[in-house]
Structure 1
Amino acid sequence: MKIISYRDKNIMRCKNYHAAQHRAGDMAIIGGTSVRDDEASMATRAAWLHYAGGLTQAEVAKRLGLTSLKAHRLIMKANQEGLVKVYIDGDVSECVELEQKLSSRYGLDYCEVVPDFDSEDLPLKALGISGAQFLRREIERGETALIGVGHGRTLAASIEYMPRTASNNTRFVSLLGGLTRKFSANPHDVIHRLAERTGAEAYVMPVPFFANTVEDRDVLFSQRGVREVFDLAKSADLLMVGIGTAEREASLVATGMIEMSEIEQIQKCGGTGELLGHFFDEKGRPIETALSNRTFTLGREDLKNRRTVAVAGGRIKTRAIRAVLGSGFLSGLVTDERTAQALAA
Structure 2
Amino acid sequence: MRLALRAATLYYLDGLTQAEVAARLGVSRPTAGRLVARAKANGLVRIEVVVPPTLRDDLHADEERELEERFGLTEAVVTGHGVDVGAPGRPAAFASVGRAAAALLVRRIAPDDVLGFTWGPEQVAVVTALAPGVASCRTVVQLDGAMSTSVYQTGVEYILDRCADVLRAKSIRLPAPLYADPSTVVSMRSDSLISRTLEAGSRADLMLFGVGAVSTSTTLFEGSYLDLTMLDELVSLGAVGEIGGRFFDAQGEPVATELQQRAVSVPLEDIRDCAKTILISSGQAKHIATLGALRGRLARMLVCDIDCARWLLAQ
Counterpart of 2:18? none
In structure 2, distance between residues paired with 1:120 and 1:187: 21
Cα deviation for residue 143 of structure 1 reads: 4.8
Does structure 1 residue 186 correspond to structure 2 residue 153?
yes
SS state at 2:52 partner: helix
Give 1:42's match in structure 2, choosing from 53, 57, 61: 53
Distance 1:125 1:300 in 2: 27
**Range 289-298 or range 256-265, more displaced:** 256-265
Report the AA paired with residue 71 of structure 2. Answer: Y
| 1:341 aligned to which of 306, 310, 313 | 310
What one-letter code is carried by the residue in structure 1 that aligns with 2:95?
A: K
Counterpart residue number, 2:3 = none
Q: 1:252 deviation in Å?
A: 0.4
How high is the TM-score relative to the length of structure 2?
A: 0.75
Deviations 1:10-51 (A, max 9, x none): xxxxxxxxxxxxxxxxxxxxxxxxxx966x4322246x5xxx
Q: CA offsets, 1:245-294, max 9 Å, x none?
A: 11122110101223332222212212111122221222333211221101
Aligned to 2:267: 299
Give, in whole Å, the separation in 2 of the partners of 1:271 and 1:41. 42
Residue 273 of structure 2 aligns to a residue whose secondary structure is: coil
The yes-or-no answer on 1:223 pairing with 2:191 is yes
Match of 1:208 among 159, 172, 177: 177
1:137 Cα deviation after fit: 2.9
Give the structure 1 partner of residue 164 of structure 2. Answer: 195
* Aligned residue type for 1:106: F
Aligned residue number for residue 122 of structure 2 = 154
CA distance in structure 1 between the aligned counterparts of 2:139 and 2:105, rounded to whole angstroms: 12
- Is there any run of 5+ residues in structure 2 with no aligned partner, and where? 1-47, 88-92
Corresponding letter in the other structure for 2:183: E
Q: Deviations over 1:211-253 (max 9, x none)?
A: 1x10111111110011111111122111111111111221101
Describe how 1:273-292 pairs up with structure 2 within 5 A.
Answer: 273-292=241-260
Residue of structure 2 equivalent to 1:124? 94
Q: 2:103 aligns with which of 108, 133, 136?
A: 133
> Contact between 1:108 and 1:331, CA under 8 Å: does it hold in 2?
yes
The 3 A distance-change label for structure 1 pair 143 and 193 is closer
Report the CA distance between 1:167 and its aligned residue.
5.9
Q: Distance in 1 between matches of 2:233 and 2:133?
A: 42
Give the corresponding residue for 1:67.
Answer: none
Q: How does 1:107-122 map to 2 (within 5 A)?
A: 107-116=72-81, 120-121=84-85
Letter of the 1:218 partner, please give it: V
For the residues of structure 2 that align with 1:130 and 1:120, how far apart are their CA atoms?
18
Structure 2 Cα separation of the partners of residues 112 and 195 of structure 1:
25
1:270 is aligned to 2:238: yes
Distance 2:112 2:241 in 1: 28
Which AA in structure 2 matches 1:152?
Answer: G
2:210 maps to amino acid: G
Distance, in Å, in 2 between the alignment partners of 1:283 and 1:297 is 21
What secondary structure is seen at the aligned counterpart in 2 of 1:304? helix
Greater displacement, 162-171 / 196-205: 162-171
Residue 63 of structure 2 corresponds to 98
Confirm or deny: 8 A CA contact 2:111 2:136 kept in the other structure.
no
SS at the partner of 1:308?
strand
Residue type of the alignment partner of 2:103 = Q
Contact 1:210/1:296, CA 8 A, preserved across alignment: yes
Count the aligned residue pairs.
259
**Correspondence list, 1:291-330, <5 A:** 291-306=259-274, 307-330=276-299
- CA radius of gyration, larger in: 2
Report the RMSD for the aligned CA atoms in angstroms.
2.3
Contact 1:149 1:240 in 2 (8 A): yes
Q: Contact conserved, 2:207 with 2:271, CA < 8 A, in 1?
A: no
Identity %: 22
Deviation at 1:193, TM superposition (A): 3.2
Q: TM-score normalized by structure 1? A: 0.69
1:309 Cα deviation from its structure 2 partner: 1.4
8 A contact 1:128–1:161 mirrored in 2: yes
* Cα deviation 1:161-217 (Å, max 9, x = unaligned): 2233466343211111121231x2121222233224434211011001111x10111
Query: Structure 1 residues 218 and 288, CA, compared in 2 at 3 Å: closer, same or farther?
Result: same
Unaligned runs of 5+ in 1: 1-35, 49-91
Query: What is the CA distance between 1:125 and its match in structure 2?
Result: 1.9
